[in-house]
Amino acid sequence: MKKITFLLFWVSLILISCTKKSETINFTFIQLNDVYEIAPLEGGKVCGMARVEKLHKDLLKENPNTFMFLAGDFLNPSLLGTLKYKGERIKGRQMIEVMNAMNFDLVAFGNHEFDLNESDLQKRLNESTFQWIATNQVHNVGNLTERFAVIKNGKKVEIPKTVTFNVKNKSGNSINIGFFSACLNSTPKDYVDYGDFYESAKFAYNSLKPKTDIVFGLTHLAIEQDKLVAQMLPEVPLIMGGHEHLNMSVPVGKGKITKADANAKTVYVHRISFNTKTKETTINSELVPITPETGEDEKVAGIVQKWNILLDDKIKEILPDPNEVIYVAKEPLDGRDTPVRSKQTNLGAIITKAMAYSFNNDVDCAIVNGGSIRIDDQLFGDITGIDIFRVLPFGGEVLKVELKGSLLKKALNYGRLKAGKGAYLQMYNVNYEKDNKKWLVNEVEIVDSKIYKVAVSDYLMKGFDIPFLKPSNKQVIKVYKNNGGDLAKDIRKAIISYLQNL
């Protein structure tokens, strides 16, 4: 009798244990955001999409319920994207090919996707095989608006406002998990209407709530905007965000907002458990560095190599040996987005000194918009020509311009007030005395009526970042023209020559 009682006791325990297991559904999210480079960086020490895919496959072995997401910004900018392939600018084509091979589960738009013109963006959408989401953005077509869509073989599939996945455990129990997105309007284009992302996110959440067990966010917003969304939707346990390029995990109420480092220097791995009985969600988030120790997926590595060969060949048309070490940085040269758009950095100083150097220093000062520096990284140790191309993928000329002092001050003040934006200026031989509110060139206060020779990027002189800084402005006295062989014809060549001669 004791044996039977003991046996029944253990059977009961086993049944209870099985019941508990069946009540829990475990799944894993891999989160990337702001990825512009497909190959490893810093001499191979960090990043690399082939490494991310190796991690992806390892996590799928750990749990088949593994999903991979990208929270916007990947089609632009990149050095590869500026090059031509088969007669067309690449414009993010390399990213689509790599991401298709990696089998992303869900991808949101970032503001930089809309850097592309309407035709190029549609081509990238049509080439993609992964699922997109667009909660607040709609496509302006003439006087009408419609959903953005993927078009294949004449068939048009609209990109949805919300996406739902079904997740099952080994016991056969399943749940529905829903997703909404949100993208900030920092890249306005005529063909896209961003709407109100707060109201769009709220509407999407309310539409998902009755038909899902949990709702998650996949956003591309500034962190303060993400916080407002999280406060507005307190039942959302996790918002996977982008836009900022440095990793963060920010708790808001019962939920949190996470962002990984740009270019997949790190990715977030979220191991999530949902109890179907209590409806409780548990999230264990781990920031995982992507390094050589991660390993590499052979298929994706092959695609990356194909594009890298093209990159090397194209750069060699301009620079004979792009991998030659031209300079050794003993301290990191800061080209990260936030610093170059908000304060003078040592990399900005080198760029502007090189601009003056390209005219044999026959200028009073030099300025360049911080937004043209697109590497979002720090350069340290051996620096090659290809690194400089990564810093300034769009290239362009350096122009020597004669300006009235009053216009120079106006441009400098405009840049100063744009701290945090791309129009913030990196400078050479210019200082601002905050207490006296005075601008100095060569340690002397700028005189309104005096004419100054300024080295400036051709982009700035087109009025893109500083709208009044154009050749048509009457206070622009003269714009010197460069000849074909001049260093100033390509800002990157000017920097490389400058660094080689230090």
Lowest model confidence (mean pLDDT) among 70-79, 132-141, 285-294: 70-79
What pLDDT shows up at residue 6? Answer: 47
Neighbours of 19 (CB within 10 A): 11
Tell me: pLDDT of 272 over 90.
yes
Tell me: pLDDT of 344 over 50.
yes
Query: Is residue 54 domain-shared with residue 189, that is, in the same domain?
Result: yes
Tell me: pLDDT of 241 over 70.
yes
Query: Is residue 488 domain-shared with residue 451, that is, in the same domain?
Result: yes
Number of domains the chain contains: 2
Task: Determine, yes or no, domain membership for 9.
Answer: no
Domain boundary among 283, 298, 313: 298
Query: Is residue 293 domain-shared with residue 326, that is, in the same domain?
Result: no
CA torsion sign for 69, 73, 75, 79 is: negative
Query: Is residue 375 domain-shared with residue 273, that is, in the same domain?
Result: no
Task: Determine, yes or no, domain membership for 489.
Answer: yes
Q: Single out the residue of 239, 268, 225, 255 nearest to residue 180, CA to CA.
A: 239
Q: Please give the Cα distance from 407 to 453 (Å, whole number).
A: 12
Higher per-residue pLDDT: 244 or 476? 476
Query: Is residue 180 domain-shared with residue 288, that is, in the same domain?
Result: yes
Task: Determine, yes or no, domain membership for 485.
Answer: yes
Query: Is residue 276 domain-shared with residue 330, that is, in the same domain?
Result: no
Which of 16-30, 150-164, 377-391 has maximum average pLDDT?
A: 150-164
Q: Please give the Cα distance from 426 to 349 (Å, whole number).
A: 7
What pLDDT shows up at residue 21? Answer: 56
Residue labelled with tokens 């480092």: 261
Query: Is residue 270 domain-shared with residue 335, that is, in the same domain?
Result: no
Higher per-residue pLDDT: 22 or 468? 468
Average pLDDT over residues 83-103: 94
b/e sequence 219-242, b meaning 16+ C-beta within 10 Å = bbbeeebbbebbeebeebbbbbbb
CATH number at 469 reads 3.90.780.10
Q: What is the 3-state secondary structure (H, E, C) of 38-102?
A: CCCECCCCECCHHHHHHHHHHHHHHCCCEEEEECCCCCCCCCHHHCEECCEECCCHHHHHHHHHH
CATH number at 248 reads 3.60.21.10
What pLDDT shows up at residue 312? Answer: 87
Label residue 494 by pLDDT band (50, 70, 90).
very high
Domain assignment of residue 418, given as a range: 321-500
Label residue 78 by pLDDT band (50, 70, 90).
confident
b/e sequence 183-201, b meaning 16+ C-beta within 10 Å = bbbbbebeebebbebbebb
Tell me: pLDDT of 235 over 90.
yes
Query: Is residue 366 domain-shared with residue 248, that is, in the same domain?
Result: no
What pLDDT shows up at residue 61? Answer: 98
Task: Determine, yes or no, domain membership for 182.
Answer: yes
Label residue 101 by pLDDT band (50, 70, 90).
very high
Query: Is residue 328 domain-shared with residue 200, that is, in the same domain?
Result: no
Query: Is residue 258 domain-shared with residue 329, that is, in the same domain?
Result: no
Task: Determine, yes or no, domain membership for 1.
Answer: no
Query: Is residue 91 domain-shared with residue 165, that is, in the same domain?
Result: yes
Task: Determine, yes or no, domain membership for 86.
Answer: yes
**Token representation of residue 314:** 């194209």
pTM: 0.83
Amino acid at 82: T
Query: Is residue 41 domain-shared with residue 144, that is, in the same domain?
Result: yes
Domain boundary among 263, 283, 298: 298
Task: Determine, yes or no, domain membership for 310.
Answer: no
Average pLDDT over residues 340-364: 98
Task: Determine, yes or no, domain membership for 5.
Answer: no
